[in-house]
């Protein structure tokens, strides 16, 4: 905050106000002031010409207001327990001329002249909207913690006050309002100053005179009256475009009504003097009908034109707002701005002049633009937040248009929560996938072990079959040899059979039962020399734990013992068989 050594009302202070956005102007800038129109503030800021007041207003309202404010200050100082100092200060382009500020800049004082209606509201703790912007901008500029808003006539009896606290919503509204005001000020072209319009002077139609003499002859100026009436009608502007044209048309309606009334009155007067004057009556009726028809046409035309102009003003406001919104939506595409509540038709109700219609329309348009600007800024900030936090997770935010208007802090929480939830779900999915792969590997390992076991069993069965086949073949060979010996014996017996009676009683050959049993031929082996320890070493069994470790089986020490898994027995057996098969003789 910067303080300025300026005295209110001096030329230097007035120049300072023109170059800054004053707190006392905030209500007019927002279109909330009951005293200054927004277009009047635009004109003053654009031209540098301040609003002028009559001597009576200056003396009885403005100067008197400063007097009662000075009278009230000691009372307020007593209420808050601190001294107050009038000060003019600024923060950037925004400024505030405080009626009082404490040395610590923590309490500000704003005074308004006593008004029973306003005092009643303030006593109830209510600060009307046409005063609230000033209080909020004072805190925005000074950084004060609160404002004492006082309504008084400088006495304790007629003094009401309430405390106003800072409101961020008002702060944002004021900042956005001044931003839009400067955009409008840049494009503002001062129009002609409004004046109180009066009808263009017109020459009244001649007084109508119809008299009836005793011979029942008419003495009148109907022909002259009719000619002037028709000339008057031809001079009427039947397509007014501005307030002056409408005032003139409405005045013509009054003149025609007056002419119609005069014709009817003259006719009644003439009829009172005679019972039948047909030509006079037809002439009177013609002119009366002409005046009536034209008057009704003008009344309808004025009504239609007014409605058309009101409609045009409303549609211009809607069109300008639509263009303003469209420019923003191109920047934030594909997001659309929320609905902007601009009631152009509502704000022009009760307005009589084109100038007041346009002022009401323009004020509503400015407020709608401020609202649109705030929405667009909020959306742009939130989109930037989403780009920073969720650029890799766009698929999680298909509802961006529904959440984009959240407060930025709430949006950050929502984005982080969704991403965290997604990461958690993804981690669970990956863990499930890893578990599935581990299970597949376990099944494959078990299948491999089973297959190896089956191979070993099959190999053992094959070898057993070979041994059995060798045994059978050996037995067959032994039997064949036995059969051969039997056949040889039989041949010998047969050869010597004819001389059997001469053969001595003791046969030189032993009987069958006396023959020695045939024994299989065994390999003659040398004396054994391998000790059991050497055999263990050759088999690798000196250190069974080391052998199993080399084969891929590790033990776990439980207490004093080293333990293996019971389920690994088949795998250990198969591994040992493969180990033994690889040993060289």
Q: What is the pLDDT of residues 249-260, one digit of tens each?
A: 888 888 888 888
Q: How confident is the model at residue 209 (pLDDT cuts 50, 70, 90)?
A: low
Name the one residue in this structure whose structure tokens are 């003791």: 506
Q: Is residue 127 assigned to a domain?
A: yes
Q: Is residue 152 assigned to a domain?
A: yes
Cα–Cα distance, 427 to 434 (Å, whole number): 10
Is the bond preceding residue 334 a cis peptide, omega within 30 degrees? yes
Question: Is residue 361 over pLDDT 90?
Answer: no
Question: Is residue 75 over pLDDT 90?
Answer: yes
Cα–Cα distance, 370 to 250 (Å, whole number): 39
- Of 312, 333, 354, which residue sits at a domain end? 333
Q: Is residue 202 assigned to a domain?
A: no
Name the one residue in this structure whose structure tokens are 């040889």: 488
One domain, residues 23 and 140: yes
CATH classification at residue 109: 3.90.320.10
Output the six-digit token pair for 584.
Answer: 């060289």
- Give which of 364, 361, 360 is closest to 340, Cα–Cα: 364
- Give which of 270, 259, 265, 286 is closest to 205, Cα–Cα: 259
Question: Is residue 518 over pLDDT 90?
Answer: no
One domain, residues 28 and 159: yes
Q: How confident is the model at residue 276 (pLDDT cuts 50, 70, 90)?
A: low
Q: Is residue 505 assigned to a domain?
A: no
Is this structure's pTM higher than 0.95? no
User: How confident is the model at residue 49, as a pLDDT?
Assistant: 62
One domain, residues 53 and 139: yes
Mean pLDDT of 79-84: 92
Question: Is residue 195 over pLDDT 50?
Answer: no
User: From the CA atom positions of the chain, what is the Rg in Å?
Assistant: 60
User: How confident is the model at residue 55, as a pLDDT?
Assistant: 63
Contacts of 66 (CB under 8 A, 6+ apart): 8
User: Do the Cβ atoms of 153 and 113 come closer than 8 Å?
Assistant: yes
Cα–Cα distance, 133 to 90 (Å, whole number): 16
| SS3 call for 323 | helix
Question: Is residue 521 over pLDDT 50?
Answer: no
Total domains in the chain come to 4
Q: Which of 148-152, 232-236, 336-340, 520-524 has the highest mean pLDDT?
A: 148-152
Mean pLDDT of 293-308: 79
Q: Is residue 200 assigned to a domain?
A: no
Q: Is residue 381 assigned to a domain?
A: no
User: How confident is the model at residue 585, as a pLDDT?
Assistant: 57
One domain, residues 161 and 219: no
Q: Which residues of 215-241 are buried (b: 16+ CB within 10 A; e: fewer)?
A: eeebebebeebbebbeebbeebeeebe
Mean pLDDT of 37-43: 87
Cα–Cα distance, 337 to 373 (Å, whole number): 10
Name the one residue in this structure whose structure tokens are 């001649």: 206
Question: Is residue 506 over pLDDT 70?
Answer: no
Cα–Cα distance, 435 to 447 (Å, whole number): 18
Q: Is the dihedral of CA 62, 66, 71, 73 positive or negative?
A: positive
Beta-strand pair 146-152/107-113: parallel
Question: Is residue 63 over pLDDT 90?
Answer: no
One domain, residues 100 and 167: yes
Q: Is residue 191 assigned to a domain?
A: no
Q: How confident is the model at residue 122 (pLDDT cuts 50, 70, 90)?
A: very high
One domain, residues 216 and 308: yes
One domain, residues 100 and 242: no
One domain, residues 282 and 229: yes
Q: Is residue 446 assigned to a domain?
A: yes
Question: Which domain range does residue 81 map to?
Answer: 2-172
One domain, residues 464 and 537: no
Mean pLDDT of 382-410: 87
Question: Is residue 136 over pLDDT 50?
Answer: yes
Phi, psi of 199 (to 5 degrees): -65, 145
- Bridge partners (DSSP) of residue 85 are 101
Question: Is residue 133 over pLDDT 60?
Answer: yes
One domain, residues 113 and 165: yes
Q: What does pLDDT average to over the chain?
A: 82
User: How confident is the model at residue 217, as a pLDDT?
Assistant: 55
User: How confident is the model at residue 211, as a pLDDT?
Assistant: 63
Question: Is residue 320 over pLDDT 50?
Answer: yes
Task: Give percent of the chain with pLDDT exceeding 70.
Answer: 84
One domain, residues 155 and 229: no
Q: How confident is the model at residue 72 (pLDDT cuts 50, 70, 90)?
A: very high
Question: Is residue 503 over pLDDT 80?
Answer: no
Virtual CA dihedral for 153, 154, 157, 160, nearest 10 degrees? 70
Which range is least confidently modeled, 302-306, 421-425, 446-450?
302-306
Looking at residue 59, the DSSP 8-state letter turns out to be I
Higher pLDDT, 125 or 356: 125
One domain, residues 81 and 151: yes
Which segments of 391-509 does DSSP mark as H helices, in order?
400-403, 408-496
User: How confident is the model at residue 164, as a pLDDT?
Assistant: 95
- Of 275, 307, 333, which residue sits at a domain end? 333
- Of 304, 333, 362, which residue sits at a domain end? 333
Rounded to 10°, the helix 408-496/569-582 angle is 50
Question: Is residue 510 over pLDDT 60?
Answer: no
Segment holding 558, helix H or strand E: strand 556-558
Cα–Cα distance, 44 to 256 (Å, whole number): 42
């Amino acid at each position: 905050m910067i303080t300025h050594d300026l005295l209110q009302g001096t030329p230097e202070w007035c120049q300072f106000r023109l170059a800054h956005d004053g707190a006392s102007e905030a209500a007019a800038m927002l279109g909330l002031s009951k005293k200054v129109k927004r277009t009047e503030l635009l004109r003053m800021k654009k031209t540098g010409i301040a609003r002028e007041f009559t001597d009576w207003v200056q003396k009885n309202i403005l100067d008197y207001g400063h007097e009662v404010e000075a009278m009230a200050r000691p009372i307020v100082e007593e209420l808050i327990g601190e001294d107050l100092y009038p000060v003019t200060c600024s923060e950037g382009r925004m400024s505030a001329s405080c009626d009082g500020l404490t040395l610590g800049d923590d309490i500000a004082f704003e005074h308004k002249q006593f008004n029973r209606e306003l005092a009643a509201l303030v006593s109830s703790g209510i600060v009307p909207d046409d005063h609230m912007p000033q209080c909020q901008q004072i805190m925005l500029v000074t950084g004060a913690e609160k404002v004492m808003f006082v309504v008084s006539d400088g006495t304790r009896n007629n003094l009401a006050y309430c405390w106003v606290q800072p409101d961020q919503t008002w702060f944002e509204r004021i900042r956005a309002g001044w931003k839009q005001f400067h955009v409008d000020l840049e494009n503002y072209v001062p129009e002609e100053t409004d004046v109180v319009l009066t009808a263009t002077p017109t020459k009244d139609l001649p007084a109508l005179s119809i008299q009836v003499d005793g011979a029942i002859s008419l003495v009148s100026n109907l022909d002259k009256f009719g000619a002037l009436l028709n000339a008057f009608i031809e001079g009427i502007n039947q397509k007014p475009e501005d307030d002056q044209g409408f005032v003139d048309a409405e005045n013509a309606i009054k003149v025609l009504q007056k002419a119609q009334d005069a014709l009817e009155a003259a006719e009644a007067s003439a009829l009172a003097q005679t019972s039948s004057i047909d030509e006079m009556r037809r002439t009177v009726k013609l002119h009366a009908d002409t005046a009536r028809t034209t008057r009704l046409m003008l009344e309808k035309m004025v009504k239609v034109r007014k409605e058309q102009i009101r409609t045009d003003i409303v549609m211009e406001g809607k069109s300008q707002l639509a263009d303003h919104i469209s420019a923003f939506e191109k920047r934030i595409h594909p997001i659309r701005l929320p609905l902007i509540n601009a009631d152009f038709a509502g704000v022009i109700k009760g307005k009589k002049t084109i100038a007041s219609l346009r002022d009401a329309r323009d004020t509503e348009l400015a407020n709608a633009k401020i609202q649109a600007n705030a929405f667009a800024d909020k959306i742009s900030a939130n989109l930037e937040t989403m780009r920073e936090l969720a650029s890799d997770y766009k698929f999680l935010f298909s509802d961006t248009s529904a959440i984009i208007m959240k407060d930025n802090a709430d949006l950050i929480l929502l984005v982080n929560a969704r991403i965290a939830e997604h990461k958690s779900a993804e981690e669970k999915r990956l863990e499930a996938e890893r578990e599935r792969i581990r299970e597949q590997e376990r099944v494959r390992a078990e299948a491999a072990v089973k297959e190896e076991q089956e191979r070993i069993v099959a190999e053992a069965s094959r070898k057993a079959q070979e041994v059995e086949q060798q045994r059978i073949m050996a037995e067959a060979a032994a039997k064949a040899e036995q059969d051969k010996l039997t056949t040889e014996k039989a041949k010998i017996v047969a050869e010597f059979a004819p001389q059997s009676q001469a053969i001595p009683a003791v046969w030189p050959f032993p009987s069958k039962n006396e023959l020695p049993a045939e024994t299989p031929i065994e390999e003659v082996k040398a004396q054994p020399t391998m000790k059991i320890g050497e055999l263990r070493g050759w088999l690798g069994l000196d250190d069974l734990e080391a052998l199993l470790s080399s084969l891929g089986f590790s033990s776990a020490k439980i207490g004093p013992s080293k333990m293996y898994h019971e389920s690994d027995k088949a795998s250990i057996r198969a591994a040992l068989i493969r180990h033994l098969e690889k040993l060289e003789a």
